[in-house]
C-alpha cells in the first residue's frame, strides 16, 4: 500500500500551497500547522534543502469520529500534506489515511479511512 497520494502540479511552489489549502478547505479541512522544512533545517543545522512544506491538515468531524473509535489515533494526526520542489517540478503529496487503519489494526477504522481517502483523492485531483 502506498503511504502517500502524490501529484506533480503545474504551479509554482507558492501557488501549489495556496491551491491545496483552498481545496482542503472546500472539503472541511483546516491547516493546523505549517512547517517550512527548508527554513528549519537551515536554522537548526545549517544545511541547504529544497523547498519543502509540511501542512498539518485536519477535518474536525472525521478526527472526532476516529478518536472515538481509536483513542491512540492522535499519534497519527493530523493528516500531513507536503508540497515540495524537486528538479524544477512541484509535487503535492497527501498521507494515505488507509495507513491509519492498517497501523491500528482496528477494523472499525477501515471505513472511516476509506471515506477520508476518497475525499483527499478528490482534493488532489482538483488541484
Q: Go through the domains of the chain in sequence order and give each one's CATH number.
A: 4-126 (3.30.310.70)
Task: Please work out, in degrees rounded to the nearest 5, the angle formed at the alpha carbon of residue 24 by the alpha carbons of 58 and 81.
Answer: 65
Q: What integer pLDDT is reported at residue 72 of this predicted model?
A: 94
Q: What integer pLDDT is reported at residue 1 of this predicted model?
A: 75
**Residues in the chain with pLDDT values less than 50:** none
Task: Please work out, in degrees rounded to the nearest 5, the angle formed at the alpha carbon of residue 86 by the alpha carbons of 118 and 57.
Answer: 35
Q: What integer pLDDT is reported at residue 17 of this predicted model?
A: 99
Q: What is the pTM of this model?
A: 0.93
- Beta strands across the sheet bearing 89-95: 4-9, 89-95, 79-86, 52-58, 30-36
* Grid cell of 38 as nine digits: 527548508
- Looking only at the bridges linking them, the beta strands covering 4-9 and 30-36 are unpaired
| Distance in angstroms (rounded) separating the CA atoms of residues 96 and 115 | 11
Amino acid at each position: 500500500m502506498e503511504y502517500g497520494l502524490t501529484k506533480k502540479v503545474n504551479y509554482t511552489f507558492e501557488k501549489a500551497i495556496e491551491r491545496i489549502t483552498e481545496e482542503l478547505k472546500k472539503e472541511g479541512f483546516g491547516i493546523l500547522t505549517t512547517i517550512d522544512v527548508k527554513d528549519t533545517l537551515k536554522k537548526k543545522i545549517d544545511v541547504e534543502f529544497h523547498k519543502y512544506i509540511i501542512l498539518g491538515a485536519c477535518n474536525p468531524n472525521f478526527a472526532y469520529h476516529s478518536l472515538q473509535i481509536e483513542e491512540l489515533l492522535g499519534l497519527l494526526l493530523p493528516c500531513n500534506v507536503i508540497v515540495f520542489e524537486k528538479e524544477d517540478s512541484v509535487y503535492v503529496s497527501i498521507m494515505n489515511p488507509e495507513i491509519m487503519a492498517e497501523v491500528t489494526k482496528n477494523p472499525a477504522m477501515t471505513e472511516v479511512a476509506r471515506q477520508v481517502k476518497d475525499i483527499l483523492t478528490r482534493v488532489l485531483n482538483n488541484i
